[in-house]
Copies of this chain bind each other. A is one copy, B any other.
Amino acid sequence: MRATILSGPRDIRVEEVPDPQLATTGGGVGRDAIVRVVAACVCGSDLWPYRGVTQPKTPKRIGHEMVGVVEQVAADVTRVKPGDFVIAPFYDCCGACANCRNGFTTSCLEAGSWGGRDHWGLDVDGCQGELVRVPHADGTLKVVEGGMPDESLIPSLLTLSDVFLTGHHAAISAGVRPGSTVAVVGDGAVGLSGVLAAKRLGAERIVAMSRHESRQRLATAFGATDIVPQRGDEGIAALKEMFDGIGPDAVLECVGTKESMDQALRSARPGGQVGFVGVPNGGPELPVRTMFSTNVGVRGGVAPVRDYVDELLPEVLDGSLNPGAVFDATFSLDESAEAYAAMDERRAIKSLLRP
């Protein structure tokens, strides 16, 4: 089969690799499924190794978001069967351990990662490819009832593997509820998803911090009531002024840099809450004295999307939510290099890949 491989900084190749095989792991149990990928995509976090900011061992299989059709299942898989259309979260999880039972499948005690290793040390495919071996198929995969969905739904279903539910996690972590005032730091696909999630949760006023016209337009379509193009002290002053001189209740930090976290922490009103989902890129550490004096809380992290998908899927299927609008460019698998370049150069908000 063909799959995308990161061979070095800004060097994305699509190569022939061995087809994945069902494995038997952990006490001779067959927990795997093989899924044929219908759609995958490029994540903002894929750009860190692509740019060489983080330096993984290369060549490396890459991609962690997909929807697809189950081709095979191992002997002990009971909830997933060949022919099922499935959404895969950006990690695999058993669905049964103490952390999975608590709603934090991202901390599954048997978790593994796409393009890395499973819990038992076996290689796992990246999701940007034709086929993927899925460990813990029963715990990991969400079956969309009714088989292959309408083509128009594919982009939005794909966002339930990561990006939209990561934005949702930012909003949940920031405590957004009906009537909340919200600012969103970051106008990438996750930040825009955060706008949509905040709207869905009933926020009364949502400020998108964005200086890019196409992203401002999508933010507005997703429910942003205000746009603030300024950053840093100017952006904070603009927000304070909009909200009684003290700032909004909730701030969604959807970037992961020192500057964006600083902006988020200083924007929230006293007693407010920062929900953060931007992968912290080597820091910064959080200023605990500032948090102490302002009572601004910080919560978030790697989004437990598998725990959210049951609640959000029906709204995507009935068309009331259209998070797939974050995809503004579509590529074939063979065009993966261009899919990365388009996002890297900010020509695309998010690139969809169709193997």
Contact = CB atoms under 8 A, between A and B. Distances in A.
Interface of A: 98-99, 102-104, 106-107, 109, 173, 244-246, 261, 269-271, 273, 276, 279-280, 283-289, 291-302, 304
Nearest to A249: B102
Name the 4 nearest CB pairs between A and B, nearest first: A297-B299, A285-B285, A107-B270, A104-B271
Contact of A301 (B106, B285, B292, B304): B292
Given A99-B269, A288-B284, A302 B293 contact: yes
Contacts of A301: 291-296
Contacts of A298: 286, 288, 291, 297-299
B288 A280 contact: yes
Contact of A271 (B103, B244, B288): B103
Nearest to A256: B292
20 contacts: A98-B244, A98-B269, A99-B270, A102-B246, A103-B271, A104-B270, A104-B271, A107-B270, A173-B297, A261-B288, A273-B299, A280-B292, A285-B286, A286-B291, A291-B300, A292-B301, A295-B300, A296-B301, A297-B299, A298-B299
A206 to B, nearest CB: 19
A325 to B, nearest CB: 27
A333 B280 CA distance: 52
Contacts of A292: 276, 279-280, 300-302
Nearest to A297: B299
Q: Which of A286, A294, A301 is the most central at the interface, judged by chain B CB atoms within 10 Å of its CB?
A: A301
Contacts of A279: 292
A286 B288 contact: yes
A280 B302 CA distance: 27
Contacts of A302: 292-293, 295
Nearest to A281: B289
A246 B286 contact: no
Contacts of A271: 99, 102-104, 107, 304
B289 A99 contact: no
Q: Which of A99, A288, A289, A299 is the most central at the interface, judged by chain B CB atoms within 10 Å of its CB?
A: A288
Contacts of A104: 269-271, 295
B106 A270 contact: yes
A99 B246 contact: yes
A301 B301 CA distance: 21
A294 B107 contact: yes
Contacts of A300: 291-292, 295, 297
B107 A295 contact: yes
A273 B299 CA distance: 8
A283 B294 contact: no
B286 A286 contact: yes
B299 A269 contact: no
A261 B296 CA distance: 17
Nearest to A278: B292
Q: Which of A99, A273, A276, A297 is the most central at the interface, judged by chain B CB atoms within 10 Å of its CB?
A: A297
A287 B288 contact: no
Contacts of A261: 288
Given A102-B271, A291-B298, A294-B301, 6 more contacts: A99-B246, A99-B269, A271-B304, A285-B285, A291-B301, A297-B297
Given A286-B286, A288-B286, A295 B106 contact: yes
